[in-house]
C-alpha cells in the first residue's frame, strides 16, 4: 500500500521540459509527469510567457496525477511536502499590484554586457550577463521606464513559489544567481547591496535592492505552505489539500548538485542539456575570473560554476535532419534509436575530430564574449570528412566551452575534485558522453542511475530533507544516506583521448576567432 501522505513531489521547470516526480519515504521515484515546451525569441529577447508557464505547470502536474492513478489507483490529495525548482538567473519583475512589468528575460539572453562589466568592477566579483542583478542594472542604464515601478524581482522558481505560497522567498542556491551571497551569513552580501544602492542613489527610484529581492532561505527551512490560490494554480481540479509544506525554491544548478550527491567540498558535477554547466564545491575562495561565477549549494557552501548558454541544441538539430532523411528513404527508425546510432558511430571517429570543427552556438556565449551566436561547421585541409568524425566533433564541441572554463580552474586555481558526477540528456546514451567528458577534464567521471532526470528528483530530495531530516542532520549527510543504495558507473578516458580533445580545442578556438569576426556578432 502506498501512503501518499508520506510522499514528496519535486517539480522542475527546465529549458525544454517541465517535469514532476513523486518519491516515497525511502526516496525512491515512483511516479512522474512532464510537459514539453520551448523558449521563444521575441523582439530580441529569449522568453517564456506567464500563460505558457501556467499551462505547462498544470499539464505536468496533471500528468503526474494520472501516472499515480494508473499505477496505484490513488488520487493526490495530501502529500508530505512539495518543492519547485527552475532555470536559474534571468529577470522577472512585478509592480506593487503583482503585474508583470516586462516579458521574462531568461538566462539565455546576452544583452547585459555593459552592466555585467560595470558591476563586476564595482563589486570586484564576477557578475555574468545572465544574473538577475545584471539585467536590472542594464535596464537602469537603458533608462527603461518600468524600473521605477518595481516592487518585486525574482527568478522563475521564486515566482512559482510565490504563486503557490504567497511567500517572497528563494533558496540560497538560486539566490546566488541573482546577487552575490555571503556564505558565512547565508544571505546576500550586505556590503555589495550597499554599493549597488549608493551607485543608483541619484536616480531616486524609491526602493532599495534588498526591498525588491526575495528573502534568502537555506535548505531544510520551511519555504511556506500551500495556499488555496496556490493549490488551484497547480491543480485546477481542487483535489490538492491546503497547508502542504513547500520547500525553499531552488535553481536547476542546485538540484543537479543534490541529484548527483555533489554538495560536499571537493565534489563536482557536470550537467549537459539545452545549456551546460559544471559545478565544483570549493575548499577556498577563488580569484576573480570572468569565465567562472561563484554561486552556492542549497546549504550555502561556495561553488565555482562554469555556465554555458549552449548545450545539445545543435546536436538535436542535426539529429532532426537525419530523421528527415531517414523518413525520406522509408526508414521508420525512432528518434531514440537514431540518437543511439549516431552517438555510437562517433566512437569510430578520430579523438581530435579528424580536422573537422563545429561551433554549435544557437545563442550567444558570455564566457567567450559572444553576444550573439550562429552555428557553423568547417574543415581543415587534409581532414577526414566522414560520419564518424562529423558526430565526434558534435560531441566534442558540446563540451568545448565548458572545457575552456574548467581548464582555468584546474590550471590557474588548482581546484581539487575528488569525485565528478554527470547528468543530463547528453549522457542518456550509455558511456559515450561520459567518456567524452572524462577526456575533457582528464579525470574519472561517474554517472548515477538517475542521471538523465536529475533536476526534479533533486528538488524532491530537498523537500524531503525539509520534513524528514533528523535532529542536527546536515543536508550533505542526508543526501549521502539516500545515495548509499544507488548504482553508479565510473569511466576514465585514455591518455590518447585526452590529448585528442586538447588538439580539438586548439581548432575550436580558431573557430571562435572566425565567429567573432562575422558581422552578426
Averaged over 148-157, what is the pLDDT?
Answer: 98
The grid coordinates listed for 338 are 537514431
Residue 366 pLDDT grade (very low, low, confident, very high; cuts 50, 70, 90): confident
Please give the share of the chain, as a percent, with pLDDT higher than 70: 98
Given a cut of 70, whether residue 135 has pLDDT beyond it is yes
pLDDT number for residue 518:
75
Given a cut of 50, whether residue 67 has pLDDT beyond it is yes
Given a cut of 80, whether residue 521 has pLDDT beyond it is no
Given a cut of 50, whether residue 345 has pLDDT beyond it is yes
Please answer whether residues 9 and 32 qualify as being in contact, where contact means their C-beta atoms are separated by less than 8 angstroms.
no
pTM of the prediction? 0.85
Residue 182, number of CB atoms within 10 A of its CB:
16
Q: Nearest to residue 234, comparing CAs of 32, 433, 20?
A: 20
Tell me how far apart the 2 most distant CA atoms of the chain are, in Å.
Answer: 68
Backbone angles phi, psi at 258, to 5 degrees: -65, -45
Averaged over 221-240, what is the pLDDT?
Answer: 97
DSSP track, 323-385: HHHHHHTT----HHHHHHHHHHHGGGS-TTGGGEEEE--SS-BGGGTBSS---EEEE-TT---
pLDDT number for residue 520:
55
Sign for the CA dihedral angle at 102, 106, 109, 111 comes to: positive
Query: In this predicted model, what pLDDT tens digit does every residue of 464-509 receive, in sequence order?
Result: 999 999 999 999 999 999 988 888 899 999 999 999 999 999 999 9
Domains annotated for the chain, with CATH where assigned, are 261-449+487-521 (3.30.420.40)
Please answer whether residues 206 and 197 qualify as being in contact, where contact means their C-beta atoms are separated by less than 8 angstroms.
no
Query: In this predicted model, what pLDDT tens digit does every residue of 370-417 receive, in sequence order?
Result: 878 889 999 999 999 999 999 999 999 999 999 999 888 888 888 878
Averaged over 51-74, what is the pLDDT?
Answer: 96
E strands, 14-94, where?
17-23, 29-36, 40-42, 45-47, 81-86, 92-94
pLDDT number for residue 425:
84
pLDDT number for residue 62:
97
The angle at the Cα of 215, spanning 211 to 221, to the nearest 5 degrees, equals: 165
The grid coordinates listed for 366 are 558570455
Given a cut of 80, whether residue 310 has pLDDT beyond it is yes
Sign for the CA dihedral angle at 188, 189, 194, 200 comes to: negative
pLDDT number for residue 413:
85
Amino acid at each position: 500500500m502506498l501512503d501518499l501522505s508520506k510522499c514528496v513531489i519535486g517539480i522542475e521547470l527546465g529549458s525544454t521540459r517541465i517535469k514532476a516526480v513523486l518519491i516515497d519515504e525511502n526516496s525512491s521515484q515512483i511516479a512522474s509527469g512532464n510537459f514539453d515546451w520551448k523558449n521563444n525569441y521575441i523582439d530580441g529577447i529569449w522568453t517564456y510567457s506567464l500563460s505558457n508557464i501556467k499551462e505547462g505547470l498544470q499539464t505536468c502536474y496533471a500528468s503526474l496525477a494520472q501516472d499515480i492513478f494508473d499505477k496505484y489507483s490513488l488520487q493526490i490529495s495530501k502529500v508530505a511536502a512539495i518543492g519547485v525548482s527552475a532555470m536559474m538567473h534571468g529577470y522577472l519583475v512585478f509592480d506593487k499590484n503583482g503585474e508583470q512589468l516586462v516579458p521574462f528575460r531568461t538566462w539565455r539572453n546576452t544583452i547585459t554586457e555593459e552592466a555585467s562589466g560595470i558591476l563586476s568592477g564595482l563589486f570586484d566579483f564576477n557578475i555574468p550577463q545572465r544574473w538577475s542583478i545584471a539585467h536590472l542594472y542594464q535596464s537602469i542604464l537603458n533608462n527603461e521606464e518600468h524600473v521605477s515601478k518595481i516592487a518585486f524581482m525574482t527568478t522563475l522558481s521564486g515566482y512559482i513559489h510565490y504563486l503557490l505560497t504567497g511567500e517572497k522567498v528563494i533558496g540560497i542556491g538560486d539566490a546566488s544567481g541573482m546577487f552575490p551571497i555571503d556564505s558565512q551569513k547565508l544571505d546576500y552580501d550586505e556590503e555589495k547591496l550597499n554599493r549597488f544602492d549608493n551607485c543608483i542613489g541619484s536616480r531616486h527610484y524609491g526602493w532599495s535592492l534588498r526591498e525588491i529581492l526575495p528573502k534568502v532561505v537555506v535548505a531544510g527551512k520551511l519555504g511556506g505552505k500551500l495556499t488555496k490560490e496556490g493549490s488551484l494554480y497547480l491543480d485546477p481540479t481542487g483535489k490538492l489539500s491546503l497547508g502542504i509544506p513547500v520547500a525553499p525554491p531552488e535553481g536547476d544548478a542546485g538540484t543537479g548538485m543534490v541529484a548527483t550527491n555533489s554538495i560536499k567540498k571537493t565534489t563536482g558535477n557536470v550537467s549537459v542539456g539545452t545549456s551546460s554547466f559544471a559545478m565544483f564545491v570549493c575548499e577556498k575562495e577563488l580569484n576573480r575570473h570572468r569565465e567562472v561565477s561563484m554561486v552556492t549549494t542549497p546549504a550555502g557552501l561556495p561553488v565555482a560554476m562554469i555556465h554555458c548558454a549552449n548545450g545539445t541544441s545543435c546536436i538535436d538539430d542535426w539529429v532532426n535532419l537525419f530523421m528527415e532523411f531517414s523518413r525520406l528513404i522509408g526508414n521508420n527508425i525512432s528518434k531514440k534509436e537514431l540518437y543511439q546510432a549516431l552517438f555510437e558511430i562517433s566512437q569510430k571517429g578520430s579523438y581530435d575530430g579528424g580536422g573537422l570543427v563545429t561551433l554549435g552556438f544557437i545563442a550567444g556565449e558570455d564566457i567567450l564574449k559572444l553576444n550573439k551566436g550562429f552555428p557553423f561547421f568547417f574543415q581543415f585541409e587534409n581532414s577526414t570528412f566522414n560520419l564518424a568524425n562529423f558526430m565526434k566533433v558534435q560531441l566534442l564541441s558540446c563540451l568545448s566551452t565548458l572545457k575552456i572554463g574548467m581548464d582555468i580552474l584546474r590550471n590557474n586555481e588548482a581546484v581539487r575534485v575528488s569525485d565528478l558526477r554527470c547528468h543530463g540528456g547528453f549522457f542518456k546514451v550509455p558511456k559515450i558522453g561520459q567518456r567524452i567528458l572524462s577526456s575533457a577534464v582528464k579525470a574519472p567521471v561517474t554517472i548515477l542511475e538517475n542521471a538523465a532526470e536529475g533536476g526534479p528528483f533533486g528538488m524532491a530530495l530537498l523537500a524531503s530533507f525539509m520534513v524528514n531530516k533528523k535532529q542536527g542532520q546536515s543536508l550533505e549527510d542526508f543526501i549521502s544516506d539516500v545515495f548509499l543504495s544507488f548504482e553508479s558507473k565510473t569511466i576514465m578516458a585514455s591518455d590518447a583521448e585526452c590529448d585528442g580533445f586538447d588538439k580539438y580545442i586548439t581548432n575550436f578556438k580558431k573557430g571562435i576567432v572566425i565567429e567573432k569576426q562575422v558581422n552578426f556578432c
